[in-house]
Chains A and B, each alone.
Chain A
């Protein structure tokens, strides 16, 4: 027998047994549009914004690796808390957009936010026919907030 030629038969029939067994088993398929697959609670689906908590500190926009967060704001003067005190300033959020056409779901913005204004939501059904529609504005990001699950209980 020449070199390099091995008798291939046991392996071939083992393979056939395997495919046959797989065939008669029930296929582990979720019929997606009819039956929705429930993502795990911490799935990185979409980032939601709690605009109330945002202080326009721009940390998220600066840390974003592909610069997909657009923030604009302005400062307003606020009356001093006590009469005769120092005049306070407050930052007002004018625009907070995330471009999901660019986002790479690294989650750095959620991690760096010092005021807990950004949250991961496991929702994933927001594909669009036009790429420009993937730019979610402040209002739309705020709507995702409803889908954010409760955070897991702290370890004591």
Chain B
């Protein structure tokens, strides 16, 4: 196939898939969150169960005026949402949906993921600084401090996986989780990393991922009761939508990373090799939805952490624990 056609096809498919996934995530959050609060949430939009509510919200946002504050640093202000969105979409470029269903087969897939997902911190800082608003500035600074603090445990948790798998390629990591560990009564048993020693690093990864998303309980940067909306305060219309969609795309993205690194990605037990490309996306989708649901679930359950608690949790607990975790994993890797 022509390389340009292939590129265009991959891009379109990816965009459609990611945006649909984000919209579905928004809908599930509206609906599941409402039911967790003994409400029923959107009901009339779209005729039944309010299924069209995210679309209606999107249409509403598109109609709004695209405002910029008078003293804003306009080019930066206008660019910031796209940086965040780009970072969110970039994650999906290397997530394998099947052995051959992957945007870009990189040998350094994990490295690329960590790099592109930290990129959103830049967009957030740009938004916070260029808005010329005190709330935005404080929110942006908090976000920067938080993203830097939680980037470290995130990376350290992933390092543990890389050590165990012995590769930085995401497909390699999935393959490592499908390798036969032992045979039990003639059945070859392969376990995902979460069951073979990566439980601690899975939890650290999820905590750090939720913090990276700056969602409750780590939503200090946009804490609406004290900072209005943090770095999003001045944004309206399409640019706000970009931030909004970007957040949910990142939720899906981080869940996909966690599913790939810890839950076996597109692989499932007893799945024949020939079926991997067909059933892979569905299996990954199942795992991703479970993780997305957990992220939504904790949003509607846990209270927000104070700024100092948030920082001390990262520096005094998560980083030491993940360092010890790496040491233990490395010892086991060498020993066995």
* Chain A interfacial positions (CB closer than 8 Å to B): 12, 15-16, 18-20, 22-25, 27-29, 31
Contacts and interface: CB of A to CB of B under 8 A. Distances in A.
A22 B297 contact: no
B218 to A, nearest CB: 14
Contact of B35 (A12, A15, A16, A27): A27
A23 B43 contact: no
B39 A29 contact: yes
B301 A25 contact: no
Ranked 4 nearest A-B pairs via Cβ: A19-B36, A23-B35, A19-B301, A23-B36
Contact of A16 (B34, B38, B301): B301
25 contacts: A12-B301, A12-B302, A15-B302, A16-B297, A16-B301, A19-B36, A19-B297, A19-B300, A19-B301, A20-B36, A22-B36, A22-B37, A22-B38, A23-B32, A23-B35, A23-B36, A27-B34, A27-B35, A27-B38, A27-B39, A27-B40, A29-B38, A29-B39, A29-B40, A31-B43
Q: Is the interface of B mostly helix, strand, loop or mixed?
A: loop
Nearest to B32: A23
Contacts of A19: 36, 297, 300-301
Interface string B192-210: 0000000000000000000
B36 A15 contact: no
Contacts of A18: 301
B13 interface: no
A28 B38 contact: yes
Contacts of B32: 23
B37 A20 contact: no
Nearest to A28: B38
Contacts of B286: none
Nearest to B217: A12
Interface in B36-51: 36-40, 43
B298 interface: yes
Contacts of A22: 35-38
A43 to B, nearest CB: 23
A27 B32 CA distance: 11
B7 to A, nearest CB: 42
Contacts of B37: 22
Contacts of A23: 32, 35-36
Contacts of A29: 38-40
Contacts of B36: 19-20, 22-23
Given A27-B40, A29-B38, 16 more contacts: A12-B301, A12-B302, A15-B301, A15-B302, A16-B297, A16-B298, A16-B301, A19-B300, A22-B37, A22-B38, A23-B32, A23-B35, A27-B38, A27-B39, A29-B40, A31-B43
Interface string B283-304: 0000000000000011011100
A156 B261 CA distance: 77
A72 B297 CA distance: 61
A146 B36 CA distance: 41
A137 B129 CA distance: 57
Contacts of B300: 19
A24 B31 CA distance: 12
B321 to A, nearest CB: 14
A25 B38 contact: yes
Contacts of A31: 43
B46 to A, nearest CB: 16
Interface in B148-171: none
Contacts of B43: 31
A18 B37 CA distance: 10
A17 B301 CA distance: 9
A115 B162 CA distance: 87
Nearest to B37: A22
A122 B40 CA distance: 26
Contact of A20 (B34, B39, B297): B297
